[in-house]
Amino acid sequence: MSIPDDAWLDAALAVARDAAAAAADVIARHYRRGVAVETKADASPVTIADREAELAIKEVIRARYPDHAIHGEEYGRDGSGELLWLIDPIDGTKSFVRGYPFFSTQIALMAGGELVLGVSSASQFCEVAWARRGGGAFLNGEPIGVSMTASIERATLSVGNLRTLASGPRWLRLADLVRHADRVRGYGDFCHYHLLARGAIDGVIESDVNILDIAALAVIVREAGGVFTDLDGGEVGLSTTSVLAATPALHGVLATAFGD
């Protein structure tokens, strides 16, 4: 299918932002209340807040787009077609249940397999970022952009979810980057992508992710002027499990360092 026009995308982005706000209301009611935690089949935690927030998001989207497909973290995929909403109601449930605000609601839309808009709402951290294809990126209503950093020696990098890197040959390549980078931190989750998109850090390296974690963030970073791929330099898609995101010049440096 052809990519929807700008007016259509603006309207859909407004719906996504409304859906994120609805989720924020649900999350605020449960935050710090000591909600019961269950363990899913993949050993990840889930709470009533995750489930209620996903239902709230779906209600907003369904009211406007009843025929669109939706794939949510808690209730799976519903519907079919080339317009697919990707939802993680609470990305960072472990942070949520322990009472610190490094969690977010992630909502993105794919059209014909391409990511075209995204909202990243870290409501308890007081940050909401959004973007749609061709429209630029925004954080709390202000336009944002990546830095101009081009060299590893001047770069601040953030790394996250390094389990698979630690058990493979890329671990030593990461060590070499750490030796040469100006600074290396582990902000994680939504936070390092928001920092990258607003020019506060220069690159993000991450493994052990899924598309629901990163779809919205990919749109935001790209619209902020950054490059967002997997660690092999491939396009982000439904099967993506790793991230290499950076300023345009630095991304090439990092891709070369991690290339096979």
- Residue 14 carries which DSSP code? H
pTM here is 0.95
- pLDDT, residue 35, reads 77
109 three-class SS:
strand
Where are the chain's structural domains? Answer: 6-135, 152-258
pLDDT number for residue 38: 80
Report in angstroms the alpha-carbon separations of 120 from 55, 80, 257: 17, 24, 29
Give tens-digit pLDDT for 30-81. 987 777 778 777 767 788 899 999 999 999 999 999 999 999 999 989 999 8
At residue 260, the pLDDT reads: 61
Q: Which fold has domain 6-135?
A: Fructose-1,6-Bisphosphatase; Chain A, domain 1 (3.30.540)
What pLDDT sits at residue 203? 98
User: Quick one: pLDDT at residue 139?
Assistant: 98
Section 189-211 average pLDDT: 96
Arithmetic mean of pLDDT over the chain: 93
DSSP lists the bridge partners of residue 138 as 130, 143
**CATH number assigned to the domain covering 152-258:** 3.40.190.80
CA distance 199 to 97: 30
Mean pLDDT within 12-36:
92
Beta bridge partners of 242: 207
CB atoms within 10 A of CB 92: 22
Among the listed ranges 73-87, 162-176, 228-242, which one has the minimum average pLDDT value? 162-176
